[in-house]
Chains A and B, each alone.
Chain A
Amino acid sequence: MSLDAFKNRNIGSQNYVPVNIENYPTSGWDKFKQVVKRGVGKELFVGLWVVLREMLKFKIHTVQYPSEVLPIGPRYRAVHKLLRLLESGNERCIGCGLCEKICVADCIRMDTRVDENSRKEVVEYSINLGRCIFCGYCAEVCPELAIVHGSRYENVSEQRAHFVLKDDMLTPIDFLKQQKEFSGFGALSPNADQLVKKTPLAY
């Protein structure tokens, strides 16, 4: 299935096929008849035949994880990422601390300071994934779309710390080109422009 089809949540426009299900037998005699029919009738052998046929054809129908990975919905809430601004490469996080405040598991911590240009700089940012419940509040509250949920759901490493320090979450500067404008959980809705009321300007 393509990503577009996955993202389409408008019921009715997808090609769903209604499944016809026969009525279940109700009386004892009818139930008995069904069991006998399925047990010694054709149905058992049909199933066995299909398995045998596919085995002989070497056609594999399961996903070959981990060499093959299914695409995941953009609104899936896995391990966080810290994004950069696409044009300048600057870090998006301004250190407002709203994520730290809203986090229900109290698992976000950050250190801020004044940098050389007297701006607020976030020197360290960490999420304790052992406590995070992946609720997505942090991503939703972030005014800069800086902290977002990524799609990395494989939480395997020698150390928990490998996921959660700023360096691990921040888009490396040389990977900036690969960073996509985030459209998942916490992002602006597509019609955001229409919802904004502009401040009148005096000039």
Chain B
Amino acid sequence: MKLKKEIKFFINDREVIAKSGETILNVARREGFYIPTMCYLEKVNPIASCRLCLVDVEGSKGSILSCQTKPTEGIKVRTDSEYLYKHRQNIMKLYDVNHPLECGVCDKSGACELQNKTLEFGINCQDFSIREPHRQIENWGKIQYDPSLCILCERCVSTCNQAIGDDAIELKFGGYGSAIVLKDKTSQTLECSTCGECIAVCPVGALISTDFKYSSNAWELNKVPSVCTHCSAGCEIDYEIKHSSTLNHDAKIYRVTNNFENSSICGAGRFGFNFANVPNDEQNAKNLKNKKFDEVVNAVKKANTIIFNSHITNEEAFILQKLKEKLKLKLVNHEAYNLQKFLGAFSRSSGETLPNGKIEDVENADQIVVVGSRIIVENPQVRYAMTRAYKKNRAFISYMHPVYEPLLNNIVKQHIRYEVGTEEGVVALLSEALIGQVLKFDLDVGYVSGETNVGEEELARIYQIGKKSKKRILIVGSDIIAHEKRENIARFLGVMQKFSNIKILVVPEELNSFGVAKICQLDEKATGKTVGYNITGDYIISALKDIGHFSVPALNQQEGTIIDINHKVKKLNVAVSFNGQSLNDIANEIFDPIDCREYTIDRTRDIFNVDFDSLENIQIDSQEIEIDCTEMPNEISKLPTFDGTLVYNSRTYLEFNPFSAFDKNGKFNYENNLLIGSEQFATAGKIADGDEVEFEILGEKFKRKFKIDKDMRGVIALNPIFDKNLKAYQLSSSYKFQKVKIVKVAK
């Protein structure tokens, strides 16, 4: 292709080469030339609002904006000159007009791009002035907007629109009175997924986090690079820590930040960091061998089963596996067990050990189908990649899920609400639509389409788009992995990967499902005495504050590794200390000396053959496996029906699990523990907004306050999964939709 050509040109008399698609600014930055910018962000299209990045081109009249202009062969670019300096100085003068002199009480101070550039261009007084209109500080829940500090660079708007996809804010034009406003004029609060990316990208203190506000000056905080633990994306984040207070020297996390230039994180990662655990009173840190410690060691020794979930590191999973071998006990983790079964069937059909989709493939795709995942909360990073795919390549996105998701409306072309429980039929229909007839049996499209409620015209559309698209990806989520017929569904998907160019991306919900599935040999059912690790059991070992019998460090208090959905190994670091014992200490009491390790991370070597400290860039590659004959999907038997009122055990936009539900003071956030349903649900269940309701799922009783959400549709209500007794959390590792009988509690 012609576009791929490299372009030679000159910056400040040095010859440089631009790769295809690169702007002058990109090349200049790569080559180490400095061009000041204020509105440029790598992750969105050039905004071109600040005009600081102006450069001169020899021979051409006027200057050009380097952030949005691509070089042509042989041009001579100058990034600095007397004229450019004056020009940039004038821009800074305008930015500074009537800018409040309140750096002393501004959260951005010390990390403020306006402050930096004002200093850089030596603006020390204001020579002219303009009448200042009254500007009101807006409170949008977790986000606060101060229009008098805003420099209208539009980074927030572009990020919300192009990188996140919520499209919740916009610029209100009005000359000197311009400001950022909510797009939804009927609402007072910001109704978005509250990712907080607008806060991160704002170069000044106009958008700030109300949780963080005034709690520390930016330069006092130390960054601890680590990985977010709330979903399978494992985003790279920095915990920013400082002593807890003047009189308490223990480190505390004040906020979480990310490399906002070229990545985005979600609200759970940004605001849900306060889950550091403290040892129980009886767990004396000084004396390792105390009564409480004997108790936990005995509990593990006597247990028949250890139940856990995938919110753990590889090292912890490895220790659990060793415990299983040593004590001959059962190891139960429903989600990872299901994933193992799913991947087993998948590889017998596809001939490869792992699905071949990556997050980058989503970003570059031109057709995306999501099935069986409420992707917006199950893996926001994949959703951001979908947004970018739509903004960059106008990708055609089909979102198939029983629950309507209003926030995806901006990017999704096809919203298909299939019947709960019919995932097998849905995937079978998709395989017909996407790769055509390769099955061994004739799919009764009419019947399956009727049962699943996926219309034939919709499938035809997917088929049409599929024919035109070069890069296609199918994203399957936790509802598929947890489904009874997971193995047959996996065979459909395996065949798709094998016989077509469609990539398959499997998105489990928990942090380290792939790691646990790789390391542990799991059992299907628990028997006898159980020990729960971060989950309910007869004896609970827990990293959650105030929960369980014995406390172990939470994931921001220990080093370890995880495997993300790209099958990459990532490292967690210690942000906050924990003065107690960990699973490794318990295991060392039980293991033979040869299996004992002083620290948990000494086990990294046992798993990956490298020391934790030197571990870098490990990618678990998919291997081809020898199969005699491809295992083809079986014919679909009768599809299940779920009638009546249903409850969906789901995450909410901000609370992904009990760990993310601690507020800034370290208190567990019960407030959001509602049952959220549509008006239709209220009518069907004969309940009203604000009623106390009771229901039972698989023998577990729940008591919730019912809340009507106008954006929801159908007779499915959301049951958030972050209870203090961990029951709903545990339920989220099996199939998330359940039939329930809602009973109103008499007042």
Contact = CB atoms under 8 A, between A and B. Distances in A.
Nearest to A94: B104
B277 to A, nearest CB: 23
A165 to B, nearest CB: 8
A74 to B, nearest CB: 25
Interface string B102-113: 011100010000
Nearest to B213: A114
Given A96-B104, A202-B129, A112 B216 contact: yes
Contacts of A144: 104
A199 B125 contact: yes
A197 B541 CA distance: 66
A87 B129 CA distance: 30
A143 B128 CA distance: 24
B214 interface: yes
Nearest to A143: B104
A119 interface: yes
Given A101-B217, A197-B125, A110 B109 contact: no
Contacts of A121: 214
Interface string A74-111: 00000000000000000000111110110000000111
Interface in B352-368: none
Interface in B102-137: 103-105, 109, 125-132
A38 B130 CA distance: 83
A96 B214 contact: no
A109 B217 CA distance: 11
A120 B214 contact: yes
A112 B106 CA distance: 12
Contact of A124 (B126, B129, B131, B245): B245
Contact of B246 (A94, A111, A143, A199): A111
A98 B109 CA distance: 10
Contacts, number: 58
B246 A200 contact: no
B83 interface: no
B450 to A, nearest CB: 57
Interface in A152-203: 197, 199-203
Contacts of B109: 96
A109 B214 contact: no
A200 B104 contact: no
A94 B105 CA distance: 7
B4 to A, nearest CB: 50
Contacts of A95: 104-105, 214
Nearest to B124: A197
Nearest to A95: B105
B247 interface: yes
B215 interface: yes
Interface in A108-157: 109-114, 119-121, 124-126, 143-144
Interface string B244-256: 0111000000000
A101 B215 CA distance: 15
A110 B214 contact: no
Given A95-B105, A111-B246, A200 B214 contact: no
Given A96-B103, A96-B104, A119-B105, A111 B245 contact: yes
Contacts of A100: 217, 220
B217 A125 contact: no
B214 A114 contact: yes
A143 B105 CA distance: 12
Nearest to A101: B219
Contact of B105 (A96, A109, A126, A201): A96
A112 B214 contact: yes
Contacts of B126: 199-200
Contacts of B322: none
Contacts of A110: 246
A201 B129 contact: yes
Contacts of B214: 95, 112-114, 120-121
A183 to B, nearest CB: 22
A119 B215 CA distance: 11
Interface string B228-249: 0000000000000001011100
Contacts of A111: 245-246
A124 B246 contact: yes
B246 A97 contact: no
Contacts of B216: 112
B219 A120 contact: no
Contacts of B105: 94-96, 119-120
Contacts of A112: 214-217
A126 B109 CA distance: 22
A102 to B, nearest CB: 11
Nearest to A109: B246
A120 to B, nearest CB: 4
Contacts of A109: 243, 246
Most chain A beta-carbon neighbours within 10 Å: one of B126, B217, B220: B217
Interface in B126-181: 126-132
A96 B246 CA distance: 16
B131 A203 contact: yes
B246 A126 contact: yes
Contacts of B103: 96
A120 B178 CA distance: 27
B142 to A, nearest CB: 14
A164 B97 CA distance: 40
A104 to B, nearest CB: 15
A124 B247 CA distance: 9
Contacts of B245: 111, 124
A125 B245 CA distance: 10
Contacts of A124: 245-247
Contacts of A200: 126-129
Contacts of A97: 217, 219-220
Interface in A12-51: none
A126 B243 CA distance: 14
Contacts of A143: 104
Interface of B: 103-105, 109, 125-132, 213-217, 219-220, 243, 245-247
Given A96-B103, A143-B104, A144-B104, 11 more contacts: A95-B104, A97-B219, A101-B219, A109-B246, A114-B213, A119-B105, A120-B105, A126-B246, A200-B129, A202-B131, A202-B132
11 contacts: A94-B105, A96-B109, A111-B246, A113-B214, A120-B105, A124-B246, A124-B247, A197-B125, A199-B126, A200-B127, A202-B130
7 residue pairs, one from A and one from B, having the closest CB atoms: A96-B104, A97-B217, A202-B131, A120-B105, A124-B246, A120-B214, A109-B246
